[in-house]
Amino acid sequence: MLVREMMVDPLLTKYSAIMLDEAHERTLYTDIAIGLLKKIQRKRGDLRLIVASATLDAEKFRDFFNQNETNDPTRDTCVILTVEGRTFPVDIFYLQSPVPDYIKSTVETVMKIHQTEGDGDILAFLTGQEEVETVVSMLIEQARALGRTGMKRHLRVLPMYAGLPSFEQMKVFERVSRSVRKVIVATNVAETSITISGIVYVIDCGFVKLRAYNPRTAIECLVVVPVSQASANQRAGRGGRSRSGKCYRLYTEEAFDKLPQCTVPEMQRSNLAPVILQLKALGINNVLRFHFMSPPPAQSMVQALELLYALGGLDKDCRLTEPLGMRIAEFPLNPMFAKMLLESGNFGCSQEILSIAAMMQIQNIFVVPSNQKSQAIRVHRKFAVEEGDHLTMLNVYEAFIKHNKNSQWCQEHFLNYKGLVRAATVREQLKKLLVKFQVPKKSSEGDPDPVLRCIVSGFFANAARLHSTGAYRVIYNEVIQTSKYYMRDVTAIESAWLLELAPHFYQQGTKERKSAGTGPELLLGGSQQGPRNGCSLGMTLSRCHGPVSLC
């Protein structure tokens, strides 16, 4: 929000002081704001900036904002202030030797604490939803077995991760009787985002799952990496909020000493197209010279510039185009979604595209309870269509509106009610922008072709074909790499549409990507690396098998 406000008021003249909280998280927009605020401070000496965090590398921030160019420390324009928090001591325990399976060790440590330690709830950190659910199942089984031995204190085992429905997440905050000990098995969402009272014992697996973008292949990977020392200390601190606690690290002290001090900032591991677009809209034409606190990789910058040029948002000189580039920049979305929305009037389907774009901004619309998995998937298939995920999500949204945004209907159909309400809110925000830009209000009246062609107009760069046969192509929102490559949010398209709607991007005959030709010196590269092993048509509604090549 702060960055978008700068588009209207570049010097933030309404404010005399600005506070950046949780600055250690180093998100894309936190880093953009940090760089912009440094520029603003050079022109506004009266602006006071407070950067706050519990795990901050304070010296790095001080050096970045300090305008003192002399060796005289008395002329520093930045100082570090330390405020002692209300925390209790936490004893740290390390392993004497590494363990081969931290999932098994997590379960064993929980049960040992439960049987040998005093009162207090347990918080165990793992890397992802699958690991969390595996450990929850194992603990429930062991707790039942222990209960049969006559142990009076019971375990209440609860999962906690970002994709969990909100009513399930709220269970971790519920009070339990003195005869029950809570065990919360969580991802790093419990590291800083929430505070759960009653936690005394923390178990740290020593790993975290991070997104990392590869500009060469335009693929975003979900990679399990060792935590940083800052994150490990933040996890340990969860056990000292209400009284003295204990943290069991499932790694050696020597391994801790070798961990990186801080997590790699998002700016150095993300798709930078939205970042560059925002900076261009703020009048920063030479983004390569922008003062980033942690400069991004040059190849990521080049790839982002190429994409924005292909979308028509930048001209040959890498300047923001008028009016298209400026309009794309006003959308709080991935530039591909913005281009799709702006073209929707020309295809006569702005109503449908608004709903699709809004739904694609919401994670985990489909709820799949572990104890009702088959039933949930069967109900979800009622919304599915053979064209793919985009029209499936459109069906879900239209059904939600048809049933008057009813929460009971969502529960019966295993849908995330709050997520759908949020999608409706996002749709209204996007609708205002389309009205502002005079995009015609039109509906395709049930004809899928205009909708699919409009999606291609924005996402032509994200095309793939089945290897060897090449019988049809798909458009996808993103590719995620875990143990394999998966396409997320996939829709089948006619291959001829790529040549028709993006002739500047594809060659006749092969329909492979071509260079930018008369474009800027930052040329569009050739075909993406293939083959890929399988592609998931999102939401587990459908799946295509076999090698897939990115066009």
- Cβ–Cβ under 8 Å, residues 29 and 267: no
Report the range of poorest mean pLDDT among 183-197, 201-215, 504-518.
504-518
- At 415, list the tokens: 């849908």
Total domains in the fold of the chain: 4
217 vs 461, higher pLDDT: 461
Are 146 and 242 in a shared domain? Answer: yes
Percent of the chain at pLDDT > 90 equals: 59
468: left (phi over 0), alpha (psi -120 to 50) or beta: left
pLDDT in the model for residue 24: 81
The pTM of this model reads 0.81
pLDDT tens by residue, 54-89: 766 788 888 899 988 888 888 888 988 888 777 789
Is residue 27, in this structure, part of any structural domain at all? yes
pLDDT tens by residue, 434-453: 999 999 999 999 999 999 99
pLDDT band at 540 (very low <50, low <70, confident <90, very high): very low
Q: Tell me phi and psi for residue 513, to 5 degrees.
A: -65, 145
- Cβ–Cβ under 8 Å, residues 296 and 272: yes
pLDDT in the model for residue 536: 30
Across 477-508, b (16+ Cβ under 10 Å) vs e yields bbbbbeeebbbbbbbbbeeebbbebbeebbee
Are 95 and 233 in a shared domain? Answer: yes
Are 139 and 256 in a shared domain? Answer: yes
Residue that is last in its domain, among 385, 418, 453: 453
Are 143 and 248 in a shared domain? Answer: yes
Query: Domain containing 396: what range?
Result: 331-453
- Asked, as a colleague might, if the bond just before 265 is cis with ω within 30 of 0, I would say no
pLDDT band at 134 (very low <50, low <70, confident <90, very high): very high
Is residue 301, in this structure, part of any structural domain at all? no
Is residue 270, in this structure, part of any structural domain at all? no
Which residues in 187-305 belong to E strands, given as ranges? Answer: 199-204, 207-214, 219-226, 245-249
Is residue 321, in this structure, part of any structural domain at all? no
pLDDT tens by residue, 410-424: 999 999 999 999 999
